[in-house]
Structures are given as C-alpha cells and as structure tokens.
Amino acid sequence: MSVLSSPWLNHIICGDARRMEAVPDASVQLVVTSPPYNVAKDYSDHDDDLSLEEYVDLLNAVWRECYRVLVPGGRLCVNVANTDRKPYLSLVSLIDEQLRTSGQTWLHRGHIIWDKGACLSGNTKVFVRERSTRAVACCRLSSLHDGGSWNGLDVEGYNATGQTCWLPISGLWEVEVTQGLALTFTEGCAVVATPEHRFMRKDGLLALAKDLQVGDRLRRAFSTPAYQGSIPTAFASCDLAWALGLYLAEGSISQETESGVRTLRYHLHSNEYGWVERLRGVWEAFGGTITSHKAGNKLVVSVSGYVACAVVGEFISGRTSHDKLPRNDVIGAPLEWRQAFLQGWLDGDGYLNEKAQRWEGNITGVNGRLMPTLHALARSVGYRLQHGAGWATAEPNGQRHPVVRWKLYLRESSHHNSVAWDALQIKEITTDNARFFDLALADEPHLFVLADGLVSHNSAGVSTAWGSFGRSTNPTLRDVHEYITVWSKDRLKLADGSETGVTGNQFVAWTRSIWRPEELIGELQKKIAAKLADARKRDKDDAWIAESIARAVWSQDTVPGETVWEMTTASSVDHPAPFPIELPKRVIELYTRPADVVLDPFMGSGSTAIAAVQMGRHYVGYELSIEYCQLAERRLAELRKAPETTGDNGK
Ligand SMILES: C[S@@+](CC[C@H](N)C(=O)[O-])C[C@H]1O[C@@H](n2cnc3c(N)ncnc32)[C@H](O)[C@@H]1O
C-alpha cells in the first residue's frame, strides 16, 4: 500500500505512544519530539509527576515503538532539558543511557545545544528608556487581542516611579523620575525610584527609598502613594477581606436612590447559605442591614447601608463586572488579609480541584484589568494564576467578549522564570539620575531597549542564582539551554537520502552543535541607536522618541530561524510546554527529504506537524490528551487556511 493512501498519515492520533499500532514498521524517516519532563507540569491528561521508575518505563516503551516504526538509518531527535537542582537530574544523560542499553541498535549522532537565552518571546516586546528626568516604558502584548496572555503584567511592583502598580496592557507608560535613585539588586535588575518612594522591606516595614541601605531585602516594591503602611484598624479583619473578595466575584452595588440609600448585593448559589451569617457578622459591624432571599437556584444577599457601600468603595473601584477592580490598598495589605481577600474571590468565582491542588474557573474578559490584578494578587501570596486563551464568547451588552479559563495553583512553580520576590537584596544605591530602568518579567525571555539603546533580554542568563552571589558557598548553575539528542536506527546512512531543500548556509549553520539565533539583537541595536541620534538632532520630545523606538522594535523584520526564533510560549498556545516551531523545522530540513514521514509521539500542541506541513513533509503524531489533539488540529487548520502567516514566526 502506498504511504500516501495510508489512513494514519497526516493524522494526529489521540492515544498512547507506548502502543503506536496504527503506524506500520519501518515507515518513518524521522522522529522529532519532546517528551514530558516529569516536572509536575499541568498537562490535561498526562500525570507529569511520576516516580523516576515509572517515568523511565514510559520513555523506554515509547523509544521501543520509535525504533520499530523508523526505517533503517532513520533518526530519532529528542528535545529535552535537564531538570531539578537538588540534585540536578540530567534527563539528556538518562535518555542517552536508555537508548544505549536498550538492546536495539541505536547509534548516537551527538547533541545539539539549543541556546534558549538567545531567543525572543513572540508574545511580548518591551522597551524601556530613560532620558534625563523621565523614564518611558512601553509594552505590547500581541496575544491580548484574542483574550490570551497577560503575563507581561508581572512587572507590577517594579513600576517604582510613583504612579501606578501596573504596566498598562498596551501603549505607552510614562513616569517622571526627578532626582532618581537607582537600586540595583543581586537578581540583576534595577529599579528607578524617587527618594520619597515607599518600598516594603523583607521584615514587612515600609521604608522610603532614600532610607534604604545596601543589603536591605525587599519583599515587594510598591508605588502606591495612598498606601499608609497598614490597613486602618477598622478594616483589619480578615472576615472583611473575605467579604470584599466575595464581593469582587459575586457582588454589585445599586445606584443611590433619591433618599441616598445604596444597596450592596451578593448573588450567590442557593447552597451557599452558610455564608450569610459570615457576611452578617462583617456588615452589621458597619451598620448594614442584611436580608436574603432565594430566587430559583440563586440566593441574593442584600446589605443596605451607606457605610457598608463606602467601605467596599475604599477597597474596590467600579460597581459592575465590567469595571470592578481591587484598589492598590488591597495589594498593599498584610499577607493574611490578602489571603482572605483572595479566598473570598475564589469562593465566589472558582471551585477547588482538590486532586490537582488548584482552583479553577471561568471569567468573562470584559474587564481587561481584572485578570492582571488578580494575577498580581495571587503572586503576592505565593500562588500562580494561569489563564488560558478565550475559548468561548459571552455577549453581555450585545458585545462579544472572550471567556477566559483560569487555574490558580496552590504552589508556585519551581520552573517559573521570575525573580524571587522575597529575596531581592539591594546591591547598590546610586543617586546620579538612574542610568537605566530594567524590568524583570516573569515569563519567557523578553526584550528590553535600555537608555543607551542597548537591547537586552531577561532570559535566565541575565539573572544570577540567589543565595550565593559573589561567594563560593553555593553558586548554582542556571541552565539557559536545552538539548536535542540525535540517534540513528541500525546504521548511519539513509538508503535514499537525496537533497532536503536546505540551503548551503543553513546546512553549515545547522550542523554546528549550538543553535543560537541571536543576530536580531545586533540589528535592533543599530536601528535604535540611529533613531536616538536622529531624535536628538531634530530635538524630538520623549513621547516621539518612545513611539518611534517602539515602532522600530515592533516592526523588526525577523527571518525565521536565521535571526530570531519567536518562541511559542505556554500562553501563546494553550499548552504548558510547546517548543518553538523553528526547532522541529530545522531538524526536519536537515534529516528528511520532501514527502518523507515525520513522527512525533508526544505531539502536544502540534508544533512538529505544523513544521512538517510547512516543509512539505508528511506527519503522524500521538497525543494522550483530546484537548491537545483538538488544539493541534485547530493550529493545522489555521495553517491550511493561511499558509503564509501561520506558525509562531508569523511568516
Ligand atoms: C512536552 S509536551 C510536547 C509539546 C510539543 N512538542 C509542542 O510543541 O506542543 C509532551 C506531551 O506529551 C503528551 N503525553 C504524555 N504522555 C503521553 C503518552 N503516553 N502518549 C502520548 N502522548 C503523551 C502530553 O499530554 C504532552 O502534551
């Protein structure tokens, strides 16, 4: 039977790669894949927290199947990162050892080191610049339009220049920096502050920037002028915080009536009757009168009383789901208070998935600032809130809005890239008008254009291991790379390996063992330096410069693979661990000819299939999760619809 008419070809089979029964023996020229790393990632069906023995068994079974389906001389390319730190677990060594001792004839061809530190995020481009007395930061989150990621807003708390805690979702953000102080931290980031700016020290006390000492540790840097250091005693009760959080999820306040009465309402489920007493305890203390009534399966709790409504207004701005937002004081409140507030919101809007140790829920994306605010709030109590892309639409007020699915993990991910908030130690304080303003974002590498036009990115490479800075005690290596370990089945050569379509330059570059696509940075640097020089000559103001640089950064042409790999991030496709399409693409172009067959036994979001289609190869894949199979099919369908604009490189 010709492969072209094979029912398995160009399909992603929703099933277990330990038994790839649909794929015949010796029918595949290349396997390119990235297995789960067993680091407790939140896959929808696969348990990524197996014992080492179970994990080894899973991989062994899959490699056995790969051997069966590969043609003699066919290649297996496995992308893997090393994991764990205490002690370090070299997954690449583990897999190499598995293949070497498998009893099958696998021939090792070597390792490709993928230098992740040199990649740019396709999601977020940020530039930050400072000139004399003003810093201008600008950010665009390109995935926002589809209700996707708000990760860039992790910069909250670093906007230490006195205006707002959050970087706006897009557009320019300008702040005055008169008589700036630059605080440099051991984590490798710097913050510009005015001397009067308040920071929270590790011991929980507030200190003015001018009173901070080298060696002080910051818990979190706030810039809320209104924050007075503690919640007034009258508001200190955690029950109140809970009631406010619940209000954020389920509450509304009526317009004032002619007699000046306003009513606060909670729209609960009828089985949440137990909460009425707790709400009564809170609101009666502020002179509110509580009544409740059932309406179908709803339970409406009403609190009438001007003071109660005013108290809510102290902590939450807005009155409806379109505009309700916790005020900065909430973020500045003591830890237990914030925890109770978050608990109230979770009780109202989420449900606890005990098995997975997380809260989950859906929220309509009508209020663009709510999710980032909750995200920051969750981070501030040590939890991780993750949003999916909009997966359905709701139509309040006749307008379509994405419904955003969220998950709140009750433990911080150890694989998150952020700086350790509680462990920022001041290394240096300078007063000479802070030279630059550097942000630390908590997601894949981001791009920064600094005051002097330098472009940098915040991959793991620019930060240092906390706890041993400059000392020999315990410097810890931070991997900024992953591996692709390459093996051949039975023999080195393919029987009929004619030209693959790769250019001479690509062949030379890609057969080098380190893949480091970083030239873009140099190009951008030149472009920005020219813009700055031009602006100075023409005496342009800051806003003009900011905008023109922003345009330069955003419009930077990237030649996929040649200059930059735009990263597929967990938030740009709804999968926790996609690899950039450039990775399978290079492997495919190096090791197969057009019309050859490429297999990915751990297909995930479909990156390998997309790369195969783009390169004119056939694909076949296995994936355990129906959700990811559907996601992969959606991505493939988009590719077929608009071949010239698909893939994460946008080209
Ligand atoms: C690291 S991810 C692969 C990501 C993929 N390279 C991409 O770009 O989206 C590993 C995938 O393997 C899947 N998986 C885990 N165990 C599996 C099994 N036994 N058979 C098939 N797929 C499995 C997981 O659901 C997950 O989507």
What residue owns the CA closest to ligand 1's atom 26?
604
Evaluate: CB of 575 within 6 angstroms of ligand 1.
Answer: yes
Task: Give the distance (Å) from ligand 1 centre to CA of residue 625.
Answer: 8
**Rounded CA separation 141/121 (Å):** 10
Structural contact between residues 385 and 408, judged by C-beta atoms closer than 8 angstroms: yes
State whether residue 125 is helix, strand or coil.
strand
Task: Give the distance (Å) from ligand 1 centre to CA of residue 575.
Answer: 10
Evaluate: CB of 625 within 6 angstroms of ligand 1.
Answer: yes
Classify residue 133: in a domain, yes or no: yes
Segment (H or E) for 363: strand 358-364
CB within 8 Å of 507: residues ≥ 6 apart: 590
Structural contact between residues 66 and 76, judged by C-beta atoms closer than 8 angstroms: yes
Query: What's the confidence (pLDDT) of residue 633?
Result: 95
User: Does the pLDDT value for residue 289 go beyond 50?
Assistant: yes
Classify residue 476: in a domain, yes or no: no
Mutation probe of ligand 1 site: the residue of 39, 91, 603 with most atoms within 8 A of C-beta:
603
What residue owns the CA closest to ligand 1's atom 27?
604
CB within 8 Å of 643: residues ≥ 6 apart: 614
Question: What values do phi and psi take at 12, rounded to 5?
Answer: -105, 120
From residue 32, alpha-carbon distances to 235, 241, 426 in Å are 58, 51, 45
Domain match, 375 and 435 both:
no
Question: What values do phi and psi take at 279, rounded to 5?
Answer: -65, -40
Evaluate: CB of 16 within 6 angstroms of ligand 1.
Answer: yes
Least confident of 242-256, 339-353, 391-405, 528-542: 391-405
How does pLDDT run across 101-145, given as a tens digit for each residue?
999 999 999 999 987 654 433 333 333 333 323 333 333 332 222
Evaluate: CB of 445 within 6 angstroms of ligand 1.
Answer: no
Query: What number does the ligand 1 atom closest to the CA of 603 have?
Result: 5
Query: What's the confidence (pLDDT) of residue 200?
Result: 59
Evaluate: CB of 577 within 6 angstroms of ligand 1.
Answer: yes
Query: What number does the ligand 1 atom closest to the CA of 16 have?
Result: 20
Evaluate: CB of 622 within 6 angstroms of ligand 1.
Answer: yes
Two tokens, residue 276: 């009425």
Task: Give the distance (Å) from ligand 1 centre to CA of residue 609.
Answer: 13
Helices (H) and strands (E) in the chain, counts: 14, 33
Task: Give the distance (Å) from ligand 1 centre to CA of residue 603.
Answer: 5
From the CA atom positions of the chain, what is the Rg in Å? 27
Evaluate: CB of 194 within 6 angstroms of ligand 1.
Answer: no
CB within 8 Å of 257: residues ≥ 6 apart: none
Domain match, 249 and 295 both:
yes
Query: What's the confidence (pLDDT) of residue 249?
Result: 92
Domain match, 522 and 605 both:
yes
Among 409, 430, 445, identify where a domain stops: 409
From residue 33, alpha-carbon distances to 174, 184, 320, 433, 599 in Å are 44, 41, 47, 50, 8
User: CA neighbours within 13 Å on the CB side: how many for 142?
Assistant: 19
**Rounded CA separation 31/609 (Å):** 11
How does pLDDT run across 448-507, given as a tens digit for each residue?
333 233 333 333 333 333 334 456 766 667 676 889 999 999 999 998 778 888 888 888
User: Does the pLDDT value for residue 646 go beyond 60?
Assistant: no
Domain match, 348 and 246 both:
yes
Task: Give the distance (Å) from ligand 1 centre to CA of residue 20.
Answer: 14
Mutation probe of ligand 1 site: the residue of 39, 623, 627, 648 with most atoms within 8 A of C-beta:
623
Evaluate: CB of 17 within 6 angstroms of ligand 1.
Answer: yes
What residue owns the CA closest to ligand 1's atom 16?
46
Domain match, 345 and 263 both:
yes
Domain match, 24 and 94 both:
yes
How does pLDDT run across 416-427, given as a tens digit for each residue?
333 344 446 787
User: Does the pLDDT value for residue 93 go beyond 70?
Assistant: yes
Q: pTM higher than 0.95 for the full model?
A: no
Number of domains the chain contains? 3
Query: What's the confidence (pLDDT) of residue 51?
Result: 85
Reduced DSSP (H G I as helix, E B as strand, rest coil) percent helix, strand, coil of the chain, to 5: 30, 25, 40
Query: What's the confidence (pLDDT) of residue 433?
Result: 42
Evaluate: CB of 602 within 6 angstroms of ligand 1.
Answer: yes
Domain match, 176 and 282 both:
no
Question: Residues 76-100: what's their mean pLDDT?
Answer: 89
Which of 163, 147, 427 is closest to 155 using CA atoms? Answer: 163
Q: How many residues does the chain have?
A: 651
How does pLDDT run across 232-262, given as a tens digit for each residue?
677 878 899 999 999 999 998 887 666 667 8
Least confident of 123-132, 145-154, 178-187, 277-286: 145-154
Two tokens, residue 240: 């109140």
Two tokens, residue 427: 């290394």
Classify residue 508: in a domain, yes or no: yes
Segment (H or E) for 182: strand 181-185
Query: What's the confidence (pLDDT) of residue 611?
Result: 95
Two tokens, residue 104: 């099958």
Task: Give the distance (Å) from ligand 1 centre to CA of residue 624.
Answer: 7
Mutation probe of ligand 1 site: the residue of 16, 32, 42, 46 with most atoms within 8 A of C-beta:
46
In 421-536, which ranges are E strands?
424-430, 447-449, 455-457, 481-489, 514-515
CATH code of the domain containing 601: 3.40.50.150
How does pLDDT run across 620-642, given as a tens digit for each residue?
999 999 989 999 999 999 888 86
Query: What's the confidence (pLDDT) of residue 310?
Result: 86
Evaluate: CB of 79 within 6 angstroms of ligand 1.
Answer: no
What residue owns the CA closest to ligand 1's atom 13?
602
Task: Give the distance (Å) from ligand 1 centre to CA of residue 622.
Answer: 8
Structural contact between residues 579 and 646, judged by C-beta atoms closer than 8 angstroms: no
Evaluate: CB of 624 within 6 angstroms of ligand 1.
Answer: yes
pLDDT band for position 650 (cuts 50, 70, 90):
very low
CB within 8 Å of 625: residues ≥ 6 apart: 14, 43, 44, 45, 46
How does pLDDT run across 153-182, given as a tens digit for each residue?
223 222 222 222 223 222 233 333 344 566
Mutation probe of ligand 1 site: the residue of 484, 624, 628 with most atoms within 8 A of C-beta:
624
Amino acid at 335: L
Evaluate: CB of 604 within 6 angstroms of ligand 1.
Answer: yes
User: Does the pLDDT value for residue 9 go beyond 50?
Assistant: yes
Task: Give the distance (Å) from ligand 1 centre to CA of residue 35.
Answer: 6
How does pLDDT run across 344-381, given as a tens digit for each residue?
999 998 888 777 777 888 877 666 667 767 877 776 67
Task: Give the distance (Å) from ligand 1 centre to CA of residue 628.
Answer: 9
How does pLDDT run across 29-41, given as a tens digit for each residue?
999 999 998 876 6
Query: What's the confidence (pLDDT) of residue 205?
Result: 60
Two tokens, residue 424: 């920022």
Among 372, 393, 409, identify where a domain stops: 409
From residue 428, alpha-carbon distances to 189, 436, 441 in Å are 11, 14, 21
Classify residue 47: in a domain, yes or no: yes
> Other CB atoms closer than 10 Å to residue 140's CB: what's the count?
18
Domain match, 245 and 204 both:
no
Percent share of the chain, pLDDT over 70: 57
From residue 94, alpha-carbon distances to 2, 64, 81, 410, 558 in Å are 37, 15, 11, 30, 36
Query: What number does the ligand 1 atom closest to the CA of 622 have?
Result: 21
Question: What values do phi and psi take at 529, rounded to 5?
Answer: -60, -40
Classify residue 473: in a domain, yes or no: no
Query: What number does the ligand 1 atom closest to the CA of 632 have?
Result: 9
Domain match, 523 and 572 both:
yes
pLDDT band for position 647 (cuts 50, 70, 90):
very low
Domain match, 509 and 383 both:
no
Classify residue 313: in a domain, yes or no: no
CATH code of the domain containing 243: 3.10.28.10
What residue owns the CA closest to ligand 1's atom 10?
36
Query: What number does the ligand 1 atom closest to the CA of 43 have?
Result: 25
**Rounded CA separation 27/619 (Å):** 11
Query: What number does the ligand 1 atom closest to the CA of 18 have?
Result: 19
Two tokens, residue 175: 């702040």
pLDDT band for position 522 (cuts 50, 70, 90):
low
User: Does the pLDDT value for residue 325 go beyond 80?
Assistant: yes
Query: What's the confidence (pLDDT) of residue 638?
Result: 87
Full DSSP string of 430-463 = E-S--S------SSS--EEE-TTS-EEE-SGGGS
Structural contact between residues 286 and 308, judged by C-beta atoms closer than 8 angstroms: yes
Task: Give the distance (Å) from ligand 1 centre to CA of residue 387.
Answer: 20
How does pLDDT run across 187-226, given as a tens digit for each residue?
545 565 666 665 656 665 667 778 888 888 765 433 222 3
Task: Give the distance (Å) from ligand 1 centre to CA of residue 33.
Answer: 9
Evaluate: CB of 607 within 6 angstroms of ligand 1.
Answer: yes
Domain match, 211 and 338 both:
no
Query: What number does the ligand 1 atom closest to the CA of 607 have?
Result: 8
Classify residue 250: in a domain, yes or no: yes
Task: Give the distance (Å) from ligand 1 centre to CA of residue 45.
Answer: 9
Domain match, 568 and 596 both:
yes
Structural contact between residues 568 and 142, judged by C-beta atoms closer than 8 angstroms: no
**Rounded CA separation 449/122 (Å):** 16
Residue 280 or 183, more confident:
280
Residue 61's domain comprises 3-118+481-645
Query: What number does the ligand 1 atom closest to the CA of 581 have?
Result: 8
Question: Residues 425-450: what's their mean pLDDT?
Answer: 45
Question: Residues 83-103: what's their mean pLDDT?
Answer: 88
**Rounded CA separation 214/121 (Å):** 33
Query: What number does the ligand 1 atom closest to the CA of 58 have?
Result: 19
Classify residue 213: in a domain, yes or no: yes
Segment (H or E) for 120: strand 120-121
**Rounded CA separation 452/127 (Å):** 11
Structural contact between residues 598 and 29, judged by C-beta atoms closer than 8 angstroms: yes
The chain-wide mean pLDDT, for the chain, equals: 70
